[in-house]
Amino acid sequence: MSPERIRIGLLGAAGIAPAAMIAPARRRDDVDLVAVASRHHAADFAARHRIPTAYSRYEDLIADESADLVYVALPPSEHAEWTIAALEAGKHVLCEKPMAMNSGEAQAVLEAANRTGQRAFEAFHDYYHPLQAWVRDFIGAGQLGSVISVTAVFNGANPFDPRSIRHAPELGGGALMDLGCYPVHWVRTLFGEPTVSRATGERNPLGADLSIEAELEFEGGVKGLISASMEPDVVLESSLSVVGEKGTLRVDNMVFPARGHSIRVERDGLAHLSTVAGLDTYDHQLAAVVEGLRTQEPLATEGPDYVANMAVIDAIYSAAGIR
């Protein structure tokens, strides 16, 4: 890999790619978008986004020696397969969440990364925004005293459509895989690995979860509740609420804080409202990946982290009797 520039290939012409990778890359002067692969729209996508090379086969992008880093934006059912293929071809990978369909597939990704010496990052872009660093520091410093409970929610209306990958269980659809993976990651980051004590969910006609809720228990006695819903009547929300012996914390818009967020801390009957300055989450994520590759320092969303996140998702589905 060139120490000056990192060359990126896009695996999948997904709707998320322009915001998640193309725009952040265009805002930097040390990365290049060199190719895109799509089975149906490669040429049109490449022309629209000024990407020099288009492939109609994923294998051709994987084999392209001009790419150092592959951004995987395929359905979750294909994440592990193509991440492993890219790693084995000598590429680093930034893969959209969730990393895999289950913890077994995620473990196979980790083993491939270890075997090849390449890096695989899971695209929890929100983690890298200064807002979440603030939350981690605030909780870690004991500002609320001993934590009693945490509630994490990500709801976003997505009416049932049998043609949508977000509603097809065999493709990795469902509220937990699409939305709830974020709250799982938040609470794990703050409080460690939980035990799932109970979970319930409502399914769509194809069997994927339209909504899901899980009760968690963490070491030290912290109780957790996470929920996610794609029901058509839900209001968009991505929030974290923490109750401690000395007060409470509520953060609204954990996922896209650059579009507006709020931090409310209440202690001794007094409420304090604030925000944290930052760029778009995807800019922070790409900056972290670029720096991690250059310094060879590990990132928080690679390695055992994505295996552990999938293990909690597996446990929630098992407790809810889904899949």
Burial of 101 (0-12, 13-18, 19+ CB in 10 A): buried
Q: What's the pLDDT tens digit per position in 92-145?
A: 999 999 999 999 999 999 999 999 999 999 999 999 999 999 999 999 999 999
Evaluated on CA atoms 293, 294, 296, 297, the torsion sign reads negative
| Residue 188 contacts residue 306 (beta carbons within 8 Å) | no
What pLDDT does residue 1 have?
45
Is the predicted pLDDT of residue 3 greater than 70, yes or no? no
Is the predicted pLDDT of residue 149 greater than 60, yes or no? yes
Six-digit token pair at 317?
């589905």
H, E, C per residue of 23-88: HHHHCCCCEEEEEEECCCCHHHHHHHCCCCEEECCHHHHHHCCCCCEEEECCCHHHHHHHHHHHHH
What pLDDT does residue 259 have?
97
Is the predicted pLDDT of residue 4 greater than 90, yes or no? no
The domains found in the chain, sorted by start residue, are 6-123 (3.40.50.720), 126-282+310-320 (3.30.360.10)
The predicted model gives 171-196 an average pLDDT of 98
Torsion of CA 144, 145, 148, 154, to 10 degrees: 30
Long-range contacts of 269-277 (CB under 8 A, 24+ apart): 276/129, 276/130, 276/131, 276/134, 277/130
Kindly indicate the confidence band of residue 2, based on its pLDDT and cuts at 50, 70 and 90. Answer: very low
Q: What's the pLDDT tens digit per position in 219-266?
A: 999 999 999 999 999 999 999 999 999 999 999 999 999 999 999 999
| Residue 185 contacts residue 210 (beta carbons within 8 Å) | no
How far apart, in whole angstroms, are the C-alpha atoms of residue 271 and residue 302? 36
| Nearest to 61, CA basis, from 13, 120, 16 | 13
Q: Does the N-terminal peptide bond of residue 162 adopt cis geometry, omega within 30 degrees of 0? A: no
pTM for the model stands at 0.96
How far apart, in whole angstroms, are the C-alpha atoms of residue 15 and residue 6? 23
Determine the residue type at 297: E
Name residues whose C-beta falls within 8 Å of residue 8's C-beta, 6 or more positions apart in sequence.
Answer: 21, 25, 31, 32, 33, 34, 67, 68, 69, 70, 71
Burial of 259 (0-12, 13-18, 19+ CB in 10 A): exposed
Instruction: Provide the β-strand partners of residue 11.
Output: 37, 72
| Nearest to 148, CA basis, from 66, 223, 71, 235 | 223
Q: What's the pLDDT tens digit per position in 258-296?
A: 999 999 999 999 999 999 999 999 999 999 999 999 999
What pLDDT does residue 323 have?
76
Q: What percent of the chain has pLDDT over 70?
A: 99
Per DSSP bridges, beta strands 247-252 and 195-203 are unpaired
**Residue 76: CA atoms inside 13 Å, Cβ hemisphere, count?**
29
| Nearest to 175, CA basis, from 320, 20, 18, 281 | 320
| Residue 246 contacts residue 143 (beta carbons within 8 Å) | yes
Average pLDDT, the chain: 97
Is the predicted pLDDT of residue 164 greater than 90, yes or no? yes
Q: What's the pLDDT tens digit per position in 19-40?
A: 999 999 999 999 999 999 999 9
What pLDDT does residue 300 have?
98
Is the predicted pLDDT of residue 169 greater than 90, yes or no? yes
Q: What's the pLDDT tens digit per position in 28-77?
A: 999 999 999 999 999 999 999 999 999 999 999 999 999 999 999 999 99
